[in-house]
């Protein structure tokens, strides 16, 4: 008799605790590779706040900046396998894996993170490309246009000849076509490479001058305003499928808004960081001649054809994608 009562009691306790756990608390882990101060992590904290607010605390997000849960190169696999529920991926770190979305790594003339981020999100929602089929994509965004930050002045294309400069993906190919010696690595590996002298500079957006203190070591900033780096925030498919519908709606509704928020934050932050770097380290801003700027356009043009061929080999209609991106660029650049 006592054993029967005990069994009933234990069953009730089990049911009770299960219902409490499922109703009150959904905990999602979110892995990010660069340090907490950088823009991918700033947007992560904003997303966490919005999600927790809009679900009235039903969802809690545990954020892991600085590769504390997954690093730059193993976030894709880690999220797929469920080591984190959510992860931040810089697409350029995975050449060939994103034949459609990598179009944003080409020199297409985007002048802001806001316009590139909105165009990227619209392109994703239109095509729903199969390169993301294993994931739920929560949002996407892009860095501001890339520029050359170096220890030595790069005043013209001649100065760039043979110079070791860090980039990733198609942006490394852009450097190569300009005569530099690109060294591909994630942003998270760049501070050490600069310190050790493995590279003389980097090719990315200017806000890292402040956020990673690169202004201290890279006093020369050459404006090229070429390609952006596209990002995706991906979620494990089982984690997504296990969410209740009201939570799914909150996350879906945040997709475009988060892309725009991140773009606007980035564009403002680039200005703040440049002002800070001028004030603190007296960085020199360099503009190349009109002839060199035209040469940059001419020399990087073949990369667009390259991309189209690679896209075609993966079943992506590159010409259609490029024409859609151009339409979106005009729409969002105004």
- Applying CB under 6 A, the residues found at the interface with ligand 3IO are 34, 38-40, 90, 143, 168, 186-187, 204-205, 208, 229
Cα Rg for the chain, rounded, in angstroms?
22
Q: Which one, 55 or 205, has the nearer CB to ligand 3IO?
A: 205
DSSP H helices, the chain, are: 2-24, 39-54, 75-81, 113-127, 157-160, 170-177, 190-196, 208-211, 237-241, 245-281, 290-300, 302-313, 318-333
Q: Which residue has the tokens 């005569």?
A: 179
Cα–Cα distance for residue pair 109/330, rounded to 1 Å: 10
Tokens of 88: 């931040």
Contact present, 147 and 206 (Cβ < 8 Å)? yes
| Residues 145 and 248: beta-carbon distance below 8 Å | no
Nearer Cβ to ligand 3IO (106/243) = 106
CB of 38 or CB of 55, closer to ligand 3IO: 38
Which CB, 34 or 129, lies closer to ligand 3IO? 34
Tell me whether residue 173 or residue 308 sits nearer to ligand 3IO (CB atom): 173
Tokens representing 265?
Answer: 């934050």
């Amino acid at each position: 008799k006592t054993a029967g009562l005990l069994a009933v009691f234990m069953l009730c306790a089990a049911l009770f605790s299960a219902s409490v756990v499922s109703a009150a608390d959904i905990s999602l882990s979110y892995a990010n590779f660069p340090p907490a101060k950088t823009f991918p992590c700033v947007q992560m904290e904003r997303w966490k706040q919005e999600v927790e607010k809009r679900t009235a605390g039903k969802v809690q997000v545990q954020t892991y900046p600085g590769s504390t849960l997954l690093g730059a190169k193993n976030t894709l696999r880690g999220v797929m396998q469920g080591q984190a529920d959510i992860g931040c991926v810089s697409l350029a770190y995975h050449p060939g894996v994103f034949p459609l979305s990598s179009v944003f790594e080409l020199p297409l003339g985007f002048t802001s993170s806001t316009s590139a981020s909105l165009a990227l999100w619209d392109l994703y929602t239109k095509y729903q490309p199969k390169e993301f089929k294993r994931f739920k994509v929560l949002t996407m965004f892009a860095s501001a246009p890339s520029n050359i930050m170096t220890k030595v002045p790069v005043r013209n294309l001649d100065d760039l000849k043979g110079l070791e400069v860090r980039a990733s993906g198609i942006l490394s190919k852009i450097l190569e076509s300009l005569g530099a010696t690109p060294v591909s690595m994630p942003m998270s590996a760049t501070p050490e490479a600069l310190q050790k002298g493995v590279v003389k500079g980097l090719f990315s957006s200017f806000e890292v001058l402040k956020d990673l203190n690169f202004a201290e070591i890279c006093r020369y900033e050459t404006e090229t305003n070429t390609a952006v780096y596209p990002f995706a925030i991906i979620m494990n498919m089982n984690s997504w499928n296990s969410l209740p519908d009201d939570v799914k709606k909150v996350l879906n509704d945040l997709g475009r808004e988060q892309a725009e928020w991140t773009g606007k934050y980035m564009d403002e932050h680039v200005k703040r960081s440049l002002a800070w770097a001028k004030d603190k380290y007296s960085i020199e801003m360099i503009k190349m001649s009109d002839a060199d700027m035209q040469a940059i356009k001419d020399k990087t043009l073949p990369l667009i054809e390259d991309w189209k061929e690679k896209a075609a080999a993966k079943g992506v209609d590159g010409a259609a994608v490029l024409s859609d991106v151009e339409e979106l660029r005009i729409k969002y650049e105004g």
